[in-house]
Structure 1
């Protein structure tokens, strides 16, 4: 897995993000790693001519250590040359979108996951959480391969939305001791029943 979403070295830099109207770099979302793409949902629609499959209803797409959760996920494939679909190109997620790893959770209204480029774009009321630390903005662009992410605000008729980060220090049992990671941090609630086990017919 790549570097964590909000690494320990960034708090001093990202504290300035609350006063900056444009954007701020953050540590990358965790890379999913290798492995098959496992998708579970309540319903499935296949569009052969469009090389597209639509999953709806508490959709969970899992690859390696990462999970993409949404109300609806469209999966776009490369043409299969007459033998079915080819490789997955990208996924478009809408409705209560969450990108979840073992150490971080990113929430948004919409998401686009470019599989080949290992790039995720999350749009709309983005909330990044790692432990007790939280960053908010309107658009998160994360390159999972290079470990570089950018969180941006937005400018519109309602005014300017700035990015903001709130950091909580780790507790220390005594002076000079190694920091103790807090375990009393609230965990964002992810809707739905979660991934479903595979059942052979």
Structure 2
């Protein structure tokens, strides 16, 4: 079930879908965020959206998949309450749990948990983490992706990082 595969067609039926207008969240390109999940819960007073089951989030050329994602929205100035159907505004953070996959044209990353923080524009993946670029593979416990700066850091946690680098392969080749 835990496959790194970009699906061309999303499964239909029983999925909640919506678009959240936002700046860069999971993609350096920014733009609208398209979300599909088995269930969506909106906690308006807490400024949270819970996405539960088969969560699939796309923005630009980036994709995030997980079992569950919690999105926390920043407060708007002068907005004491939110109304049903009203816009939450900008995403402050996203926490993805269970079989987390983050895919861009340059890399594929997987882990047990992923946290996006807007103020630092970073994604931190933890657990049994793997990062793939072309045929190169790195494994560790904590992966930090700085989206805007395009910087990646892998930490071994209580162990060491492991890497397999294939200098003869071309980045992005499938074969």
TM-score by length of 1: 0.65
> CA shift at 1:181, angstroms?
7.2
Aligned equivalents of 2:174, 2:36: Cα separation in 1: 30
Q: 31, 36, 49: which is aligned to 2:32? A: 36
Change beyond 3 A, Cα 1:86–1:151: same
The 2-side partners of 1:44 and 1:154 are apart by: 33
- Report the counterpart of residue 18 of structure 1 in structure 2: none
Q: Structure 2: which 5+ residue stretches go unaligned?
A: 1-25
Residue 182 of structure 1 and its aligned partner are, at CA, apart by 5.0
Q: How does 1:76-91 map to 2 (within 5 A)?
A: 76-80=72-76, 81=79, 82-83=81-82, 84=86, 85-91=88-94
Structure 1 residues 86 and 140, CA, compared in 2 at 3 Å: closer, same or farther?
same
Q: 1:90 to 1:164 in 2, by over 3 A?
A: same
User: More helix per residue: 1 or 2?
Assistant: 1
Structure 1 residue 95: deviation in Å? Answer: 0.3
Instruction: Look at both structures and tell me which one has the larger radius of gyration over its CA atoms.
Output: 1
Residue 183 of structure 1 corresponds to: 174
1:32–1:63 CA contact under 8 A, matched in 2: no
| Distance (Å, rounded) in 2 between the aligned partners of 1:32 and 1:49 | 29
| Alignment correspondent of 1:70 | 66
Bigger proportion of residues as strand: 2
Q: Which secondary structure does the structure 1 equivalent of 2:98 belong to? A: strand
Separation of aligned partners in 1, 2:130 and 2:35: 24
Alpha-carbon distance in 1 for matches of 2:136, 2:109:
12
User: For residue 129 of structure 1, what is the aligned residue in structure 2?
Assistant: 132
* Equivalent residue pairs, number: 143
SS at match of 1:95: strand
Relative contact order, CA 8 A, sep 6+: which one is greater? 1
**Using a 3 Å threshold, how does the CA distance of structure 1 residues 182 and 42 change in structure 2: closer, same or farther?**
closer
Q: Is the 8 A contact 2:138 2:164 kept in 1?
A: yes
Please say if 1:141 is aligned against 2:157.
no
